[in-house]
């Protein structure tokens, strides 16, 4: 019953008994390693759009004259191609967690990330595929998109979760090492005997 309520809220859990504790702990450790490797892959995938985001920030400042690139780099279609896997594969956990939070009305960080990044992404897609809609607007608004912003938010939060996961793993290993230092037997001296 407890596990069903956890599952309805979007979480998972297990009960351990002493006979299966070691096997379950090994499964959890392997799942942690797999999750860590997947996060590394997602971070590598998001790196190109992250570099573009950094370039965009430099472009706004005084370093712009030293870091100019050809105009084709800024085409919305290239940004769309680079940001789509970041938004929907790397940010998959945020989107699923956000929809689960709507289901349970227990809003959390996933809800905020999902709403913000999907709004920016789909607005940018609309700007990219409907240039005729923007014909009455000023020139700089016709091609102004937020692909790099939505992908950078996903990237930064994923990077934060990666660092959190590494810190938790290291803390867990340190606690295990401390527990292994505990003596297996102790001598009880009662009233000096």
pLDDT tens, position by position, 125-182: 988 888 778 778 776 666 678 888 888 888 888 888 888 877 887 787 777 778 777 7
Region 89-118: mean pLDDT is 88
pLDDT at 85: 87
Q: Per-residue pLDDT for 31 more than 60? A: yes
**Alpha helices (H) in the chain, listed in sequence order:** 2-8, 21-60, 76-85, 92-104, 109-129, 139-142, 147-180
Q: Per-residue pLDDT for 52 more than 50? A: yes
Q: Per-residue pLDDT for 122 more than 90? A: yes
Quick: pLDDT tens for 38-51. 877 877 877 777 77
Instruction: Tell me the C-alpha distance between 158 and 155, whole Å.
Output: 5
Q: What is the average pLDDT score of the chain?
A: 78
Quick: pLDDT tens for 57-73. 666 655 555 555 545 44
CB 79 within 8 A of CB 49: yes
pTM of the model: 0.68
Q: Per-residue pLDDT for 92 more than 60? A: yes
Instruction: Tell me the C-alpha distance between 75 and 137, whole Å.
Output: 18
């Amino acid at each position: 019953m407890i596990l069903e309520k956890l599952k309805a809220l979007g979480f998972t859990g297990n009960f351990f008994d002493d006979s299966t504790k070691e096997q379950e702990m090994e499964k959890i450790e392997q799942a942690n390693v797999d999750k860590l490797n997947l996060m590394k892959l997602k971070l590598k995938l998001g790196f190109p759009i992250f570099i573009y985001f950094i370039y965009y920030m430099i472009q706004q400042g005084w370093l712009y004259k030293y870091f100019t690139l050809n105009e084709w780099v800024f085409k919305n279609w290239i940004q769309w191609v680079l940001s789509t896997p970041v938004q929907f594969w790397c940010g998959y956990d945020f989107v699923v967690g956000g929809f689960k939070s709507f289901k349970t009305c227990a809003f959390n960080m996933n809800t905020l990330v999902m709403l913000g990044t999907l709004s920016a992404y789909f607005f940018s897609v609309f700007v990219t595929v409907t240039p005729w809609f923007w014909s009455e607007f000023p020139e700089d608004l016709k091609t102004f998109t937020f692909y790099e912003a939505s992908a950078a938010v996903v990237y930064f939060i994923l990077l934060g979760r990666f660092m959190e996961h590494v810190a938790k793993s290291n803390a867990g290993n340190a606690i295990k090492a401390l527990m292994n230092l505990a003596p297996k037997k102790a001598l009880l001296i009662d009233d000096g005997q």
